[in-house]
Structure 1
């Protein structure tokens, strides 16, 4: 029923002579091997990029960082909307640099891109401990961290796909679950570090940890030699963006990103709005991260067995339904926690499924270009998503002050599911034509 992991019906012919000689036949492909080291390294890098960013966004929304900034009055006149743009800026900068990161991986090496990204991210966290003005915060915790995260992410996200075929979605799910684990661990650990060591040293410690772990992983990651040669020989084609199946993939990613960032940003403050404490709101966010850590590998495993497009479609649809049917009625602690972990199982499918789905649509040889353009397209929605969430909120006197936010998240995910439904029909049509 589902599409298999080979790309025989979706991959365009390559114009480069002798390209097929660079890729071993399918019966000679060795699944895994050193690829499992790459899975572990990508997992850790996701924990120390997206996982750290999830923690930063959570605390910027309502918690430790915002309380510190306001109580110390180091940024007089800075509004909560401006703080929201710091989190959005980091994600949008990561997306903005994606085409450059992809090009540098293609022309130079993944290792170069990963090492530069590691350096920028560590510098941004350490520099954040010295900020004295809001523009410095935007540059350090926003732009610099985002560029570093983007280089690390774009340099590592496609590597595991070169080592696996049958379990490609599973290993990408395992690797991407690192962001959920990282967000969970650091939301608890740094929350304890700030009272013990103070905000500046907590940030410096975080920067040092990220530097050591990401630097180690960056220099352990590599792709198989035949894939590396093929990547160097294949052209950097932007023409794939004109293909209908790829445009549908971009539509799914665009709408998913809008819904995901708004959900991630809004859940902790929603918890406080319905009467929970700040600590309970933080735990709700931690449970969302836990749900992602469990859900991404599970979605990957199911994708390898039942079809990557099918499972991603169902995950997107379930996220939308949970937001519209369950979240809109949440008013108690228990239901908040249940929703957090339930929606976490499916909401973060984008980061886990993007690489396998892109390989399904364009093939491995164009995977780098496809992913680079996909992440770049996500720059606008990730820039404005948190600001949209703030503007959609009603006043604190309204009984359903988050209703518009909840409806927005639900409809974005349902729209993304529709894009995948059309993508499934398009891939099926192309497969039928290839077999006829």
Structure 2
């Protein structure tokens, strides 16, 4: 189908129902994953898994992202051959099984498979099919619609950070995991049933891994930006609660810092969408990535009080996830609507390594017992 024959996006209508569905998907997949910093802080200070090392817990959190991204080619092929909703329903099964079995884990390898691999696959199977749908429904308001959708991860992260932290302090971390499974799968089922693609009108290529795209310089530059920036994103997302503990702050304050980070995400992402539509999607993505790096040096590095750390959490939260807001519109901008799913699939594949090892690097850079244990981590994130 030639570009002239493609049915143009309606820029609204049922598209707004799809935005609400994608908002919910972000809320109860990435939002739940964004609260892993609270679990990480708990695991690092507890003895539930005595044979585990800090690097194990960092890898488990990284698997939430990398396994989701690694599943992208398979998910893209399943969605093309059958339907968008089939992989999403399979993902609900992975998520429920992952969180529930993690709540009963007694060995670290069990936590790897459950809270790491299964949850990661669950997120990927639910999220990956949904990310291309909004761009199929919108043109002029594409970045705004994607920004509203992406804000769901901030709302979810805020909610799960507070709920999980409270449940862990008053009941147990096991029940925090079970509650996450119940809440997430219930809402995600509704969102899956409501979402609707426009594949019949657009006829996307839907290739799991289109190697021809790698011959294009603009695509390679996009993938390089994603690869490098994701190291800082993961390290910052997961490290902040434990950094708060290293300052001598309480569990409640550390949980609040993580919640504020996600609040900033919820506020910032729709705004990123608005200014991207107005001033250019490529330009805004690049400038905000740079601004986040500067904030690590200007605000986080000299932070010595709870108030300054909260300020940094909000500011960085608003801008540090610009990748997730802009990646869909950027792929359309660079490769076109027909190649959207294939370019997205390449993007997910390229960020497998940084999402797996970003926090591993951060924990290895941490210098426990020193006056500034997170100095090298802060520099790493900024750079």
TM-score (normalizing by structure 1): 0.84
Change (3 A) 1:210 1:276: same
| Distance across 1 between alignment mates of 2:193 and 2:350 | 28
**Residue of structure 1 equivalent to 2:109:** 135
| Distance across 1 between alignment mates of 2:172 and 2:379 | 39
| Distance across 1 between alignment mates of 2:30 and 2:206 | 31
User: 1:324 Cα deviation (Å)?
Assistant: 1.6
**Residue of structure 2 equivalent to 1:371:** 344
Q: In the alignment, is residue 242 of structure 1 matched against residue 215 of structure 2?
A: yes
**Residue of structure 2 equivalent to 1:203:** 177
**Residue of structure 1 equivalent to 2:158:** 184
Change (3 A) 1:110 1:340: same
Of 235-244 and 204-213, more deviation after overlay is shown by 235-244
Deviations 1:27-52 (A, max 9, x none): xx421110101111111111111111
| Distance across 2 between alignment mates of 1:251 and 1:102 | 22
Query: Superposition pairs for residues 3-402 of structure 1, below 5 Å?
Result: 18-20=1-3, 22-24=5-7, 26=8, 29-55=9-35, 57-63=36-42, 70=47, 73=48, 75-194=49-168, 198-224=172-198, 226-227=200-201, 230-231=203-204, 237-397=210-370, 399-402=371-374
| Distance across 2 between alignment mates of 1:233 and 1:404 | 41
| Distance across 2 between alignment mates of 1:352 and 1:325 | 24
Deviations 1:103-143 (A, max 9, x none): 22222211111111111111111111222221111111000
| Distance across 1 between alignment mates of 2:44 and 2:20 | 33
**Residue of structure 2 equivalent to 1:408:** 380
Deviations 1:217-243 (A, max 9, x none): 112111125435x12698973311221
In structure 2, the residue corresponding to 1:331 is in which secondary structure? coil
Instruction: Supply the RMSD in Å over aligned alpha carbons.
Output: 1.9
User: 1:20 Cα deviation (Å)?
Assistant: 4.4
In structure 2, the residue corresponding to 1:81 is in which secondary structure? helix
Change (3 A) 1:108 1:278: same
User: 1:166 Cα deviation (Å)?
Assistant: 0.6
In structure 2, the residue corresponding to 1:329 is in which secondary structure? coil
In structure 1, the residue corresponding to 2:277 is in which secondary structure? helix
Contact 2:103 2:175 in 1 (8 A): yes
Whichever of the two has the greater Rg, that structure is 1
Stretches of structure 2 that go unaligned for 5 or more consecutive residues are none
Count of residues paired in the alignment: 383
| Distance across 1 between alignment mates of 2:79 and 2:4 | 22
Change (3 A) 1:198 1:277: closer
| Distance across 2 between alignment mates of 1:243 and 1:313 | 19
Change (3 A) 1:92 1:225: closer
In structure 2, the residue corresponding to 1:219 is in which secondary structure? helix
Deviations 1:276-318 (A, max 9, x none): 2222121111111000111111010000011101111111111
Contact 2:145 2:273 in 1 (8 A): yes
Contact 2:73 2:208 in 1 (8 A): no
TM-score (normalizing by structure 2): 0.95
Change (3 A) 1:217 1:35: same
| Distance across 1 between alignment mates of 2:3 and 2:276 | 27
Stretches of structure 1 that go unaligned for 5 or more consecutive residues are 1-17, 412-436
Deviations 1:341-362 (A, max 9, x none): 0111110111111101011000
| Distance across 2 between alignment mates of 1:238 and 1:166 | 29
User: 1:19 Cα deviation (Å)?
Assistant: 3.6
In structure 1, the residue corresponding to 2:284 is in which secondary structure? helix
Deviations 1:63-117 (A, max 9, x none): 2x555x61xx4x3321222111111122111111111111222222111111111
| Distance across 2 between alignment mates of 1:187 and 1:255 | 27
